Structure 1
């Protein structure tokens, strides 16, 4: 599965998702670090990627069409964020594979 990580997430998170067998892109690497949510969403659609973000604004876009993983984990140290994602990502992917378009991951 392909994921597009929003600017509010660390670029290094891509490596963790890649270790789990996924393709992971980050808006910074794609030159979209200052892009609007609509531009990020459009890029995700072009890339056939699931947006991953902490930003609740993507919920409106996801309600129309597309797929979103919204991280509701609060402000945490990167190692804590990585641990939460590492432990829970298989279930997130399972839910996406099962047809859910919006998956919220809570700490």
Structure 2
């Protein structure tokens, strides 16, 4: 199962690196796109939940790293107003051509 990382820039300029055990993040977020904090939190935690379930389907257990990433995003998002914005600055690896 291909894993990936994605980087986001929070409203205060802080950059956070996030991990996913699946490329499913590409289905929910797009590089160069700005989301409100509330929308980003929803999209990211939904995607990471799907990623954890893909791991469960393949290996019989959910990915705790995906859960930790979702928790870290949720914790960071609580520092900002839901209408502030988050930028998706990178996703690696890109989707296969």
Per the normalisation by structure 2, the TM-score is 0.30
Per the normalisation by structure 1, the TM-score is 0.28
Higher relative contact order (CA 8 A, sep 6+): 2
